[in-house]
Amino acid sequence: MKHLFFALLFLALAVPSPAQKTEPLNPSANTARQIARVSAEIAPSNKKIPFHANWESLAAYRTPEWFRDAKFGIFLHWGVYSVPAFGNEWYSRNLYVPGNATYGPQTKFGYKDFIPMFKAERFDPNAWVDLFVKAGARYVVPVGEHCDGFAMYNSDITPWNAARMGLHRDIVGELAVASRSRGLRFGVSSHTAEHWWWYGRGRSFPSDVHDQTSGTALLYGPAAPRIFQVLTA
């Protein structure tokens, strides 16, 4: 299981350069095309992809030598949830506890409303990496997207990303450049697998999760109940 964990953790993601320009996003027109493209890229027939969604493929993973010797690295969570700065990164979900009126009626104010406040005026990737290097880190792994559905990189699949909203910067891309320029290994962690149920509680009572007119469908996602079915032979 240790090898499987690191196999999933260190799979590299293609991160656009901070200077890269993208065409205006039309989610309704682009989503199906992007899903088809990604599906084709990761298809079992694609020999360029080292790992696929099967145990045989993942069992072939071997911990890289550099990681055996690295000893210390930086894993970091940072995102829109730092605006309310309450508790931890789960506040994007805990905001939808019935009766949580800290920011007003939940039908009016939701997680989406923190995004314009996510300015991060003092974000300096070079200063961050300088500190990491001084601490002795050999690798850096930020979260590219937490379960909240907000991507911290420049995405052409969802408009809910840091390059298009909030501070309007490709956080992951800038950290990648800063880390690699100093000889650090760079990885990206994704928690998107849990996005499908993350805002499910927001559908259990009146809240803005129900509102599909404000373009939040891609941010709040399916917002399904968190129900797990145990399969038996």
Would you tell me how many other CB atoms lie within 10 Å of the CB of residue 13?
Answer: 14
Query: pTM of the entire structure?
Result: 0.78
* Residue at 45 is within a domain: no
Strands 74-76 and 185-186: unpaired
Q: Which domain holds residue 167?
A: 65-220
Residue 57 pLDDT > 70: yes
Flag whether 153 is in a domain.
Answer: yes
- Can you tell me the distance from the alpha carbon of 138 to that of 156, in angstroms, rounded to the nearest whole number? 30
CATH of the domain at 170: 3.20.20.80
Tell me what pLDDT residue 41 has: 77
Looking at per-residue confidence, does 171 or 29 come out higher? 171
Asked whether residue 85 is domain-assigned, the answer is yes
Query: Is 42 inside a domain boundary?
Result: no
208: in domain: yes
Which pLDDT score, from 0 to 100, does residue 92 have?
Answer: 96
Asked whether the predicted pLDDT for residue 42 surpasses 80, the reply is: no
- In the chain, the number of structural domains is 1
Mean pLDDT (whole number) for 6-18? 36
Domain assignment of residue 123, yes or no = yes
Looking at residue 85, what is its pLDDT?
A: 95
Higher pLDDT, 2 or 202: 202
96 has pLDDT over 80: yes
State residue 22's pLDDT score.
Answer: 38
- 158-177: pLDDT as tens digits: 999 999 999 999 999 999 99
- Check residue 6 and give its pLDDT: 36
Residue 10 lies in a domain: no
Which pLDDT band holds residue 31 (cuts at 50, 70, 90)?
low
Residue 98 lies in a domain: yes
What long-range pairs does 127-132 form, CB within 8 A, spacing at least 24?
128/175, 128/178, 129/175, 129/178, 129/179, 129/181, 129/182, 129/184, 130/182, 132/74, 132/179, 132/184
